[in-house]
Amino acid sequence: MSESLVKELVSAGVHFGHRASLWNPKMAPYIYARKNQIHIIDIRETVRGLLRAQKYLNQVVSGGSLILFVGTKRQAAAAVERESLRCGMPFVAERWLGGALTNFRTIRSRLGRLEELEALRASEKLAEYSKKMQSALAREYRKMYRNLNGLRTMNRMPECVVVVDPRKEKNAIREARRLGLTTIALIDTDCDPDDVDLPIPGNDDGIRSIELVLQVLADAVTAGKATAAVQAKQEAAHEPKASEPPAPPVQNDAPPAVDGEAVQ
């Protein structure tokens, strides 16, 4: 981790925690000091958490697995959507639908309905419906697009879930743990680190703090994709090419030799 990134973390206010009266005692190992009744997070612990998360995400993505980004709070929604789209991973930035992981088959069926509505809106058949029906279909489309658009690329279960503020996204954490998925989370001093597999101590309320942490994680995902592409290219280069039909044996018209001389 470069020294410049550490300075960026401090500049973004990642080390600012909650008020001391709101803290979770389990976060004590990640707290450096208390100033003006505000807990200061140990930036060294933040760096360690980022390094562990980067390494794990790189390994998971290089193996071809998916990462789900979750952050529905107002400060995190825009950054979650932007960074997820940049690294090509599914996300939930508007509202967590109960059963998005544990009832994945139903979510996929609703995505099929969303595609049907989009095809209907793009065709001329919509004009054949009544005004009331058109309005109802428009409302249904807006609601489904808002809640499901980020999950379009999740054609299979993710290997890991990245969360901003596990207290806010407790349902997502609960479903991920129930299915045995790895969880990575940006946790503030009021969170329980035991709920997360790879905690990243830091300010989960500041927009700049969230953006910087998500940018680092998205870069790790992008690097993992690049590694996977290189590995696939190398494997393709080492694969034997399709064998051509064997050439017919060469006929030798010369008579066989006997004691070193050709038979006449």
pLDDT digits (tens, 9 = 90+) for 198-244: 999 999 999 999 999 999 999 999 999 998 888 888 888 877 655 55
Kindly report the pTM of this predicted structure: 0.85
Q: Diameter of the chain by CA atoms? A: 113
Q: Is residue 241 part of a domain?
A: no
Residue 161, class by beta-carbon neighbours within 10 Å (0-12 exposed, 13-18 middle, 19+ buried)? buried
Which pLDDT score is estimated for 126?
A: 86
Q: Is residue 240 part of a domain?
A: no
Is the pLDDT score of 260 beyond 60?
A: no
**Mean pLDDT, residues 35-59 taken together:** 93
Q: Do 28 and 133 have their domain in common?
A: no
**Mean pLDDT, residues 184-208 taken together:** 94
Q: Do 110 and 80 have their domain in common?
A: no
Q: Report the range of poorest mean pLDDT among 3-12, 83-92, 132-141.
A: 3-12
Work out the angle at residue 109's Cα, subtended by the Cα atoms of residues 66 and 179, and round it to the nearest 5 degrees: 45
Residue 181: CB partners within 8 Å, gap ≥ 6?
Answer: 101, 157, 158, 159, 160, 161
In terms of residues, how long is the chain? 264
More confident position, 4 or 240: 4
Residue written as token pair 């290997």: 159
Nearest in space to 93 (alpha carbons), one of 110, 75, 114, 70? 70
Residue 55 three-state SS:
helix
Task: Answer whether 58's CB lies under 8 Å from 223's CB.
Answer: yes
Q: Do 185 and 82 have their domain in common?
A: yes
